[in-house]
Amino acid sequence: MNVILYNGLVYPQVPISRRPTLVVITGNKISAIGHDIKAVRRQYPKHALINLKGRAVIPGLVDSHTHFYFWAMTIDTVHLDGTKDFDEALGRINEFRKKLSPGEWIVGDGWSADSWSDYHLPTAADLDRVTAGHPAALYSKDQHTMWVNSEALHRAGINKQSRNPSGGQIDRDPITRQPTGLLREIPGYYPVIKLLNRPDKNSSEKIWKRAARIARSRGVTGFHSMDLPEAYEFFRSLHNRSQLDFRVCYYYPVWMTDELIERKIVSGDGDDTLKVGGVKVFSDGALGSQTALMKKPYLGNKNNYGLAVTSRSELKKQIAKASKHHLACAVHAIGDQAVDNVLAGFESLSNPKALRHRIEHLQLISKADIGRLRKIGAIASMQPSHCPSDRELIKLYWGARGKDAYVFKRLMTEKIRLAFGSDCPIEPLDPLAGISCAVNRTGYGERGGKFYPAQSLTVAQALHGFTVGAAYAAGSEKNLGKIAPGYLADLVILEDNIFNLPSSQIYKTGVAATIFNGKVTYKNSQSRLW
């Protein structure tokens, strides 16, 4: 596409003395930014003209932590987000079951015992009441606990004699020792995952198109994927046919490290559209499931410090092996002890800055550990939209330790690189909503009641995390994340200017058009730009 976008307000994420009003795109790259449409028109006489009518233009938005493939393939499952009580959740499952063929799996997500009016840890017996013999598996909202019914337990071979796998847990009745139907962390519910149906190729591609359109309508031009290996093969198939149309940075699960070494796969393999980021490692669980690994116990449960999905010593070994073979590590760590363990793993490397290592989530970090993080140069890959969602759980389980949770401003002040994402499907794939959360630290549209407001970011700082920060985390900062000559033409044209809106209204901002690699991949027909 050869086009001049003019009469707009351009936010290029580079130092400027005067706000540009136009962008020139030639093919798949940005040729120029500037102010003088007449001079630019003389230089590019054959380029089409698009009048932005005052709209803001920002770099393409990249979500730095997603389970995009999983989200896409589960769009048509049962979703329990927003259920007010346990009975409503059961009712939603029952209605979903009626649409299925006999014996078909009931799969879903989004339940949270903490969000129901009456706290209730669900059981297999509860689920049996509404599943009518169908096997059923439902992820909790944080995706760290799976609620299954008796048929699913039976098919997975999980029973009274089953032992807790390393890094996982099977909840049991304290008297009978029978599994209750709650399986915690991937090692705990992996026997069930292996049994779940996978959509065939035709179904997968139809579902993908729906998910891709949703993402593009929200200004997404790229994402970092923490999915299982089948996702990478799916992305590669699309890319080989020039149908991917997103910048994808993929992280393999750490258990594939030996295979990756044998295949000589390293971080950075691939191209500007699809590349290998490294390996995804788990240090602990999650806040909602009370499995995030803590230095002090959870409030109300003096014996619970969370769960080390990977022990401190094993974490060091995994990080060392991957790094030795040029594979960057993206390590999930939510609790402060988990973060401490990850830092120790990076500190054991001879040169931790040699690769783009990352700590995913980093929801709670002790002040004393921030200097360690800065010294090793690891990226803080965080999800602003988790902050308002988790604030009540933080008060309930961590109490005053909440002052050290989601410390965006503190980390930025310490010059620690931030890359922002959503952890989709745990939170919606919506970077503009993420920017709103980083700025406001409240629920969408709420006024007042900010969660530790001193940690709020400006709009420009929050946008940086979804553009420049995301590009740096993927090793693509030389040609992505900014609107500058020579950079790839990934842009978003906004309906409203997030820099001028009341902060409480940022989340409502619409996207007029999304441009990927110089091609319009989404346009709002109401905007009438083309």
pLDDT tens, position by position, 44-98: 999 999 999 999 999 999 999 999 999 999 898 999 998 999 999 999 999 999 9
pLDDT number for residue 202:
81
- Enumerate residues 6+ apart whose C-beta is below 8 A from 257: 279, 318, 321, 322, 325, 327
The CATH number assigned to the domain holding 86 equals 3.10.310.70
Q: Judge whether 12 lies within some domain.
A: no
**Which of 210-214, 440-444, 494-498, 513-517 shows the lowest mean pLDDT across its residues?**
440-444
Q: Average pLDDT, stretch 402-421?
A: 98
pLDDT number for residue 150:
97
At 444, the pLDDT band (50, 70, 90 cuts) reads confident
At 100, the pLDDT band (50, 70, 90 cuts) reads very high
**Helix or strand run (H / E) with residue 433:** helix 431-440
What percentage of the chain carries pLDDT values higher than 70? 100
Same domain, 218 and 310: yes
Q: Judge whether 38 lies within some domain.
A: no
Q: How far is CA 430 from the centre of its chain?
A: 10
What one-character DSSP code corresponds to residue 163?
Answer: P
Query: Up-side HSE of residue 449: CA atoms within 13 Å toward CB?
Result: 11
Query: What is the pairing mode between strands 56-59 and 61-66?
Result: unpaired
Tokens of 76: 């048509």
pLDDT number for residue 198:
78
Point out the domain boundary residue: 141, 159, 193: 193
Q: How far is CA 241 from the centre of its chain?
A: 26
Same domain, 462 and 333: yes
At 154, the pLDDT band (50, 70, 90 cuts) reads very high
Point out the domain boundary residue: 193, 218, 240: 193
Rounded Cα–Cα distance for residues 345 and 308 (Å): 14
Rounded Cα–Cα distance for residues 168 and 146 (Å): 11
Rounded Cα–Cα distance for residues 226 and 32 (Å): 35
Q: Judge whether 208 lies within some domain.
A: yes
Q: How far is CA 124 from the centre of its chain?
A: 29
pLDDT number for residue 429:
97
pLDDT number for residue 443:
83
What residues does 279 pair with on adjacent strands? Answer: 252, 329
> Which value, to the nearest 10 degrees, does the dihedral of the CA atoms of residues 89, 405, 371, 340 take?
-40
The CATH number assigned to the domain holding 508 equals 3.20.20.140
Q: Which of 57, 32, 28 is nearest to 43 (CA)?
A: 32
pLDDT number for residue 396:
95
At 524, the pLDDT band (50, 70, 90 cuts) reads very high
Residue 115 has pLDDT above 90, yes or no: no
Same domain, 206 and 139: no
pLDDT number for residue 105:
95
Find the distance separating the first CA and the last CA of the chain, reported in whole Å.
13
Tokens of 127: 């689920």
Burial class (CB in 10 A: 0-12, 13-18, 19+), 478: exposed
Same domain, 398 and 419: yes
Residue 229 has pLDDT above 80, yes or no: yes
Same domain, 361 and 266: yes
Residue 168 has pLDDT above 80, yes or no: yes
Angle formed by the axes of helices 124-131 and 86-97, nearest 10°: 40
pLDDT in tens, 251-300: 999 999 999 999 999 999 999 999 999 999 999 999 998 999 999 999 99
Residue 197 has pLDDT above 80, yes or no: no
Point out the domain boundary residue: 193, 227, 252: 193
Q: Average pLDDT, stretch 501-516?
A: 95
Residue 323 has pLDDT above 90, yes or no: yes
What one-character DSSP code corresponds to residue 486?
Answer: T
pLDDT in tens, 334-383: 999 999 999 999 999 999 999 999 999 999 999 999 999 999 999 999 99
Same domain, 468 and 433: yes
pLDDT number for residue 519:
97
**Which of 56-65, 201-210, 320-329 shows the lowest mean pLDDT across its residues?**
201-210
Q: How many domains is the chain built from? A: 2
Q: Which of 110, 56, 53 is nearest to 84 (CA)?
A: 110
Mean of all residue pLDDT scores within the chain: 95
Q: Judge whether 458 lies within some domain.
A: yes
At 203, the pLDDT band (50, 70, 90 cuts) reads confident
Tokens of 200: 């065939």
Rounded Cα–Cα distance for residues 364 and 339 (Å): 8
pLDDT number for residue 114:
87
Q: Where are the beta strands (DSSP E) in 424-510?
A: 491-494
What one-character DSSP code corresponds to residue 400?
Answer: G
Rounded Cα–Cα distance for residues 464 and 13 (Å): 7
Same domain, 205 and 189: no
Rounded Cα–Cα distance for residues 172 and 157 (Å): 15
Same domain, 390 and 254: yes
Residue 448 has pLDDT above 80, yes or no: no
Same domain, 107 and 217: no
Same domain, 171 and 207: no
Same domain, 375 and 497: yes
Residue 449 has pLDDT above 90, yes or no: no
pLDDT in tens, 450-461: 999 999 999 999
Query: What is the pairing mode between strands 491-494 and 418-420?
Result: unpaired
Q: Judge whether 24 lies within some domain.
A: no
- Phi and psi at 10, nearest 5°, equal -100, 130
pLDDT number for residue 128:
96
Q: Which residue intervals of 32-149 are DSSP H helices?
A: 37-43, 68-73, 86-97, 124-131
- Enumerate residues 6+ apart whose C-beta is below 8 A from 38: none
Q: Which of 479, 490, 389 is nearest to 437 (CA)?
A: 389
Tell me which residue range forms the domain holding 105. 76-193
Burial 150-178 (b: 16+ CB within 10 A, else e): bbbbebbebeeeeeebebbbbbeeeeeee
pLDDT number for residue 527:
81
Same domain, 351 and 446: yes
Q: Judge whether 58 lies within some domain.
A: no
3-class SS of residue 102: coil
Q: Judge whether 17 lies within some domain.
A: no
Question: Tokens 């939510």 identify what position?
Answer: 334
